[in-house]
Structure 1
Amino acid sequence: MPDDDIRAWAALLRTHAAVLPKLERALVKTGLPLTWYDVLLVVNAAPDRRLRMTELGRQAVVSRERVSRVVSELEREGLMERQPNPDDKRSSFAAITPEGRKRLKSAAPTYLAAVARHYLAHLDPDEIAVIATALSRVVEAEEAATAGQ
């Protein structure tokens, strides 16, 4: 593998490792751990503000194995609820509650400020556009490959 290839991969991993703990620390004061914020954000953006658990597992940043546990934690806090899927009795939906939406909205400024401070502030607009385009292409290709399996 050429040096630039390894450098690009290493930079992605190191950026993730450097920035994520800072986002987690910033969110502590909101009472929403980063994993909760991520799951609430994904479900809130879904049609009808609910997603099948399998789809949530694909879209959330937390591992698929952890999604069920995170949803259970959010349920205990009244921020999310599981709803039966009338079309498939074997699956259920994760749905954000009004309280979950309220807490997500309240935490959003803290999260966005931390992303701006610890990530975006180090990049110019052209770099942000290139990174977004390139990484989106990787995600789309890998998701398509997974869907085809």
Structure 2
Amino acid sequence: MNKIKILLLFVLATLTFSCQKGYKQEYKIFDEFNKKNERNKGWFPSIIYNDATELRNVSYLDPLCAFGKFNYKKSEFYDSIFSANDKISFELFNNKVEQNVKLKPNWFLDLEQLDKSNVEVIKKEEFYILKNNKEKTIYFILSN
């Protein structure tokens, strides 16, 4: 009976610890990203085009959230996505980041230093997506 309790505690501790670390994904180019299974790609927004580079993401199950970013080259493609979707306020994006700030990776956008005149924000599916027009970088957060 004691062995079962110890085994159960070990399993619970392992599951708790593994969920807190987050699942990290990094891809240099779109082709590397595109070869992954749909479950891995589900932690990224569906707007990623074949010009995307330096794709990064860290996702968590408890609480359910993901932080990510990627660079792009074809402004026209992303401009069309952002013009076809309703804009949301920067404050809403910021609130989602603040809700999960303890999980935010150090490579994610520093919202206090950001020049807000060069950004647009939309919500697509469950993702809050910020496009930095000057740096040609997209940052996103998945949060419930």
What is the TM-score when the length of structure 1 is the normalising length?
A: 0.25
Q: What TM-score, normalized to structure 2?
A: 0.26
| Structure with the higher fraction of residues in helix conformation | 1
Which of the two has greater strand per residue? 2
